[in-house]
């Protein structure tokens, strides 16, 4: 069975989708991001020459998604070290950029730890900076590898739960190449099913308010030639009622020790719907998304975002590409660009970026080390201990 999956997972990639890359320019090292705020209208690069620029890019979602935030955070520390900034200060700025995705802190701390270890061994500034960059690159490679293994385990689980072999999968937010060093988490499983000829349809939730599903997942699905259909988030109920969903696949921003899952707001209602309709609700995330310091769902800090994201539609160029933008464009301009108002001036909005799904509503959590089902703290701890042994 392994060979069957390995063969399908190593297929040709569509070219030109690197979510981020390290570059050495004559004026110094930089971190180059694919600016996700401008997708699908444009594949534009955002060049970060320093940590404040990267922090702004993280806050405004030019770079986003839990695993990629970890990688970006690690390269951010490498950028600080290479450019001679205070590494500890850079690390704390980066770690605080967004509060919920635990991978960000994980990547930052790993890179900062590499710097301290090198410095503690008497390395000079240049050698210590090289050690941090090597650590960031290693994390990047590990995430790509984890992505492949999650796809393998996830497809095996889908095939086991849905023996018919023609899956109709609903997904929320964006969990593909744009969030990962590889092909992603939940999306990578759907892509593996597609390559194996077993994905009948990918149902893509638009994911209000920032439309990660419509702008990013639909974009990735189209690039990969998948059969997909976009729906508004509130159409999911009628889709379940019509019997059109065989499984829900989502990612995670943080998994607590008890198996509670924080993911893009709107995931929890899908889990409730899935339970009512007897459909598996599957979370796909690397073990780096499990936070040993978070005992349960109530302890997860959920990021609250500006109400403006709800009271206005995203800026027109984000969605349609109709606005000509001067180059280069600062991250501040991108985040502050006004969209069309959809509520009276002064309207207050409730805008949590994530919600928390309790473990009893999650059919399985799939990691690079395998799947746990039913979801228990002990099962998750066992998977994490496997990954932390290596």
3-class secondary structure per residue, 288-355:
HHECCCCCCHHHCCCCECCCHHHHECCCHHHHCCCCCCCCCCCHHHHHHCCCCECCCCCCCCCCECEE
Q: How far is the CB of 367 from ligand MRU (least distance, A)?
A: 12
Cα–Cα distance for residue pair 186/192, rounded to 1 Å: 10
* Binding positions for ligand MRU, 165-184, rule CB under 6 A: 173, 175, 179
- The first and second tokens of residue 132, run together, are 């941090």
* Given 95, 206, 253, 369, the residue binding ligand MRU (CB under 6 A): 253
Q: How far is the CB of 69 from ligand MRU (least distance, A)?
A: 7
Q: Is 248 in the site for ligand MRU (CB under 6 A)?
A: no
Q: Is 185 in the site for ligand MRU (CB under 6 A)?
A: yes
Cα–Cα distance for residue pair 317/277, rounded to 1 Å: 38
Q: How far is the CB of 264 from ligand MRU (least distance, A)?
A: 3
Q: Is 158 in the site for ligand MRU (CB under 6 A)?
A: no
* Given 40, 65, 182, 370, the residue binding ligand MRU (CB under 6 A): 65
- The first and second tokens of residue 303, run together, are 């990021």
Q: Is 66 in the site for ligand MRU (CB under 6 A)?
A: yes
Q: Is 282 in the site for ligand MRU (CB under 6 A)?
A: no
How far is C-alpha 336 from the chain's CA centre?
A: 23
Question: Smallest Cα–Cα separation from 181: which of 102, 67, 295?
Answer: 67
Cα–Cα distance for residue pair 329/327, rounded to 1 Å: 5
- The first and second tokens of residue 356, run together, are 């928390």
Catalytically active residues, by annotation: 253
Question: Smallest Cα–Cα separation from 373: which of 157, 159, 150, 126?
Answer: 157
Of the listed pieces 26-34, 106-114, 250-258, 380-388, which binds ligand MRU according to CB under 6 A? 250-258
Instruction: Compare residues 140 and 264 and give the one whose CB is closer to ligand MRU.
Output: 264
* Binding positions for ligand MRU, 68-127, rule CB under 6 A: 101
Q: Is 212 annotated as a binding residue?
A: yes
* Given 73, 105, 213, 251, the residue binding ligand MRU (CB under 6 A): 251
Q: Provide the 8-state DSSP code for 279.
A: -
Residue stretches of the annotated binding site for substrate: 64-66, 98, 212, 263-264
Contact residues toward ligand MRU (CB under 6 A) are 61, 64-67, 101, 173, 175, 179, 185, 212, 251-253, 263-264, 353
Residue stretches of the annotated binding site: 64-66, 98, 212, 263-264
């Amino acid at each position: 069975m392994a060979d069957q999956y390995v063969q399908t997972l190593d297929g040709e990639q569509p070219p030109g989708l690197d979510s981020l890359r390290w570059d050495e320019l004559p004026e110094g090292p930089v971190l180059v991001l694919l600016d996700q705020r401008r997708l699908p209208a444009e594949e534009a690069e955002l060049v970060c020459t320093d940590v404040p620029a990267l922090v702004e890019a993280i806050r405004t979602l030019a770079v986003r998604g839990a695993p990629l935030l970890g990688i970006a955070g690690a390269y951010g520390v490498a950028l600080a070290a290479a450019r001679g900034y205070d590494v500890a200060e850079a690390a704390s700025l980066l770690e605080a950029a967004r509060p919920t995705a635990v991978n960000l802190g994980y990547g930052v701390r790993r890179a900062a730890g590499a710097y301290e270890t090198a410095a503690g061994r008497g390395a000079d500034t240049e050698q210590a900076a090289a050690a941090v960059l090597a650590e960031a690159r290693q994390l990047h490679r590990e995430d790509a590898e984890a992505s492949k293994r999650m796809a393998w385990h996830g497809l095996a689980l889908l095939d086991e739960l849905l023996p018919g072999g023609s899956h109709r999968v609903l997904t929320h937010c964006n969990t593909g190449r744009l969030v990962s060093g590889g092909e992603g988490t939940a999306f990578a499983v759907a892509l593996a099913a597609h390559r194996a000829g077993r994905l009948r349809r990918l149902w893509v939730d638009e994911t209000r308010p920032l439309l990660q599903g419509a702008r990013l997942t639909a974009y990735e699905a189209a690039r990969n030639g998948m059969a997909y259909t976009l729906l508004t988030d509130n159409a999911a109920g009628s889709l379940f009622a019509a019997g059109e969903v065989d499984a829900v696949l989502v990612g995670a921003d943080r998994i607590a020790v008890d198996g509670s899952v924080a993911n893009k707001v709107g995931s929890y209602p899908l889990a409730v719907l899935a339970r009512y309709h007897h459909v598996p609700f599957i979370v796909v995330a690397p073990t780096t998304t499990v936070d040993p310091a978070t005992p349960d769902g109530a302890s997860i800090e959920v990021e609250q975002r500006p109400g403006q994201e709800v009271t206005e539609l995203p800026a027109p160029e984000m969605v349609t590409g109709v606005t000509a933008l001067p180059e280069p464009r600062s991250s501040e301009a991108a985040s502050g660009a006004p969209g069309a108002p959809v509520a009276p001036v002064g309207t207050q909005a409730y805008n949590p970026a994530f919600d928390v799904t309790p473990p009893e509503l999650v059919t399985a959590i799939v990691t690079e080390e395998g799947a746990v089902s039913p979801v228990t703290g002990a099962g998750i701890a066992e998977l994490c201990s496997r990954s932390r042994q290596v």
